Amino acid sequence: MKRFSFLTILIVPFVLSAQESADSLRREVTIEKDFTPIVRDASKINTLPEVEAPTVTRQSIQYSDWTVPAPLEARAVLLPPGGFGDPARENLKRGYFDFGLGNYWNMAGNAGYRILQSEKDQLGVWWQHRSTCGTVDYNQQLPGYETSRTMRQLEERVVADYRHTFEKLDLGIRGGYRYNSFNYYGLRFPGVQGIASPGQEINRFFLKSQIASNNPEAQLHYRASLAYHRYGYRRGYLQGDKGAAENWVEADFALTAPIDKSSDITVDGAFDYIGYSQLPSASGYGMLSLNPRYSWRNDRVSLSAGVRADISFNDGTIFRFAPDVRFDWTIVPNLQFYTWLTGGKQLNTWHRVSAYTLYFNPSAVADNSYIPLDVRLGLRVNALRGFSIGLSGGYEIGKRVLFLIPEQTDDAQLTGVSRFWGIDAYAFKAGLDLAYRYGSLWEASARVDYCRWTTTGGGQVVSYNRPQWQGEMKVRYNPLQKLSLEAGYQFAAVRKYGALGTLSDMHLVHVKASYAFTPCFSLYGLTDNVLNRKYDIAYGMPAQGINFLFGVDFKF
């Protein structure tokens, strides 16, 4: 039975919200990202040359990212790639609402409204709904197991964001609530003493305040924030166990002192504390991170050199160090070269690992990872008009890199959940991407990535959350100003799930179309897994077959 939850957020005038930087946009909306030093890489590396410069009418103020609904976590659990959870296009109206309905009882809805939108005060709220309740057939035929199950999942989110702009600084606050309800529909032997009930609930909320300077002529630029996140389960892993909760407090800052027009010195820092309630097997821990660096740039070269230092409290090795060096060189106008040497410790909170799957052990804490070195280098060529090609390669060394392993009993019976295990491993990586754009009429892109993980003992390691090959292709065609068409393909190959062996490769094709009857009203349609491929999201957790979603979109 579907449940809907709504949250009313009251914001007083002294509680304010700062706009997040573009570098932290994506994780800020979905899962509060663990601290990662950010360097302003030259945007030209990833910029596709335009055939014709479009005319864009900009508003006098820049809105915060509240208008972009968060992409769905564990996206393939509901609908495979192809649009479920896609970010909304920029909305220049004051409010928006869209809703789609499809087979498997798939539903997707978004709504938002800018309550305040003056030069100094900006207040907005948005809501997002995702749900499914369809029967899927298992791809395995095992004695003692059912042949199909109903996959249920419900998600509701609501977020509010307020910002006040003073003459030389921004102050603000943002907060939100998120509710997940789902069943453990994966293969599970009837007699297994595992999850107490087929139903699970997760309640999360966060509150974050921030202050940041906005004076470009200042001798010192600064940003500081303080946030609290809570992630709580209703049920634990074993029958009769109550669910645990994760409490995460994070504080971070960034100071930048310009030396001259082409160089500056920056110090990023963060402190994180993670504690668990109703989970006796886990104790609280903290980490202090510092990232000083020097940056220099001109018309052809951009260089940033620094180091990251992580100091841990009650979490293994106290001091961890990693380089933070990034170099970008425009060799000739249409040929760019770049290289990164980065690393650092990564806190694998429940907030973070839930991006891979919601079906992990709700009573187990994931290992935190440490990357001593992650080397990447690449070339990008823009020699032909509208065409871009990029080549990249890399090598990564990891300590306690997370791989998803199935939970099994002593007699090898499946429990229906997974667990993240940290494994010491290293990886060779390579990538190729192509893109083409012909004005606003055609746009096409393709990408393929290879990543081979090997344990320090010499064994190969792959899991469904780290496939060896993955990639996608996408073509968009706009024959009319009001009509937009899209077709795409996504694949993931060489996927394993622990001792249970190799999973079927994922080959997913989707088509989309939308038509705007007026600037404020449009219809859209999506058909996904067009080839009706049978595959598992994880072992014993089948994905939906061919599915569709039709909906309406209003802007007001």
Q: Domain ranges for the chain, please list them.
A: 22-555
The DSSP secondary structure of 199-231, one letter per residue, reads EEEEEEEEEEEEEEE--TT-S-EEEEEEEEEEE
Q: Which fold has domain 22-555?
A: Maltoporin; Chain A (2.40.170)
**Mean pLDDT (whole number) for 381-408:** 91
Distance (Å, whole) CA 363 – CA 83: 32
Residues 528-539, mean pLDDT to the nearest whole number? 89
Please tell me the distance from the alpha carbon of residue 376 to that of residue 328, in angstroms, as a whole number: 12
> Looking at the predicted structure, is the pLDDT value of residue 269 above 80?
yes
Distance CA 93, CA 503 (A): 45
Query: According to the model, what pLDDT value does residue 227 have?
Result: 94
Residue from 398, 372, 270, 374 nearest 320 by CA: 372
pLDDT recorded at residue 191: 66
Distance CA 546, CA 103 (A): 9
pLDDT at 555 over 70: yes
Q: Summarize pLDDT for 25-71 with one digit per residue, the tens.
A: 233 323 233 322 322 333 333 333 333 333 333 222 223 333 333 33
Bridge partners (DSSP) of residue 483 are: 480, 515
pLDDT per residue over 206-234, tens digit each? 999 999 998 888 889 999 999 999 999 99
Average pLDDT over residues 253-276: 95
- What is the per-residue pLDDT for 188? 75
Phi and psi of 224, rounded to 5°? -145, 145
Which tops the pLDDT comparison, 78 or 385? 385
Asked if 209 and 12 touch (Cβ cutoff 8 Å), the reply is no
- Output DSSP code: residue 466: B
- What is this structure's pTM? 0.81
> What digits encode the pLDDT tens for the residues 310-366?
999 999 999 999 999 999 999 998 999 999 999 999 999 999 988 888 888 898 999
User: In this predicted structure, which of 145-154, 182-191, 294-303, 531-540 has the lowest mean pLDDT?
Assistant: 182-191
Q: Quick one: pLDDT at residue 33? A: 31
Identify the weakest region by mean pLDDT among 6-15, 288-297, 344-353.
Answer: 6-15
| pLDDT at residue 456 tops 70 | yes
Residues 6+ apart with CB under 8 A from 67: 88, 90, 91, 96, 112, 114, 124, 126
Quickly count: other Cβ atoms within 10 Å of residue 450's Cβ.
18
Q: pLDDT band for position 92 (50/70/90)? A: low
Q: Which residue, 488, 494, 492, is CA-closest to 474?
A: 488
* DSSP assigned state of 68: S
β-pairing verdict for 442-455 and 414-438: antiparallel
Query: Which residues, including other chains, have CB under 8 Å from residue 361's CB and lie 6 or more apart?
Result: 237, 407, 417, 418, 419
SS3 call for 65: helix
Closest among 263, 290, 419, 424 to 350, alpha carbons compared = 419
Residue 495: pLDDT band by 50, 70, 90 thresholds? confident
Q: Residue 88 corresponds to which amino acid?
A: A
